[in-house]
Structure formats: C-alpha cells, structure tokens
Amino acid sequence: MLVVGLSNPGAEFEGTRHNVGAEVVRALAARHGSGRLRPEKGQRAVVEEVAVGQARVALAVPTTYMNESGTAVRPLMRRFGIKDPAQLVVVHDELDLPPGRIRVKLGGGLAGHKGLASVRAHLHSGDFVRVRIGIGKPPGRQSGADFVLRRPGRAERGDLDVAVEQAADAVETIVTEGAEAAMNRWNGA
C-alpha cells in the first residue's frame, strides 16, 4: 500500500491548512518508522517504508507543488509495485468539511481540489482511497486559495492537530482492516 500526503514544499508552506496531508504522513512515519522521510533517487517525493500491523506501507510526501502532485504519485506507484488504485491512500485538506472533521472516501468528485485533480489525471483513475481532513470554508470574501495557504489561528490549529492524529488512525484502519471498515468507523463520527 502507498500512502501519500498532499502538500506544498518549502518552509513558507509549513503549518498551512493545505499541508495537513503531509502532517499525517509524517505522524505515521513517527509512529511506525524512523520519523524521517528521505528523498529517493528518481522520485519527486520524500519516502519511508514502514510496517503497519502485518502490512508493508510506503509513506510519501511529494516534493512537487500541490497542483502537480500526480507527477510524483504515478512514479511512486510504479516504484512500489502498486497497480490497483485502491491500494493508494491520498490524505488531503478539504474545504467542504468543518475544521477537524475526518472522512474516508473511495473515489468520487474532486470538489475543486487541484492536487486530487492532478493525481486523477496522471493515474487516469479516481478509484483511490482518500482521507479528507476538514479545514472549513474561508471567512467572508477570502478566496479558497488564500485561505488554504494561510496558517490557522491557535484554536483552529489545536483542532487540526487532533485531526492529524485521527487521520493517521484512519489510515492505520485502512491498512489493517480495509477502506470499508475505515469508512464505517470514521464517517459516522
């Protein structure tokens, strides 16, 4: 299985709403491995292979910008021998969910998310598992793009920190029990 956390590279994007996917993958690396994702030759991502239960899992954070995520994900799938898109878990921020809410989804629409659109375009399939982390809607007339690229306030950051840990739990459920079990457990909360 391959788990990819979508984000933008660079220190200027650390801690922004758009990078919560990468935070989840880093949390999983800390739980199950060395906690240090490393560049791998020929890949546009930092990677660590870990064991989750009895399963070998490749954890990855693309080093591309969000809207080019698919250019990293497709070669990662080849590298780790993933042929079935259902063996790919993409963790990402979601404007359509309240801050801190977690949902697991198999396939479906993109809701305007450029990272998901890139992954689907490069895989020619949307049949991958998604762990969606709610970041809420932008206030007032602020654009979605400006909102996702900003760091949240202290209270919202606290909600997102909890959500990152819960999303890591959801990924573990997907790996050990399957996507259906994860949807049953996490989508009712």
Active site residues: 18
Distance CA 173, CA 131 (A): 11
- Taking the CB of residue 97, how many other CB atoms lie within 10 A of it? 18
5: tokens are: 């956390």
Distance CA 170, CA 182 (A): 6
Q: Which residue(s) pair with 58 in the sheet?
A: 2, 49
Query: Collapsing DSSP states into helix, strand and coil, what is residue 173?
Result: helix
Cβ atoms 57, 3 nearer than 8 A: yes
H/E segment holding residue 58: strand 55-62
Distance CA 88, CA 79 (A): 13
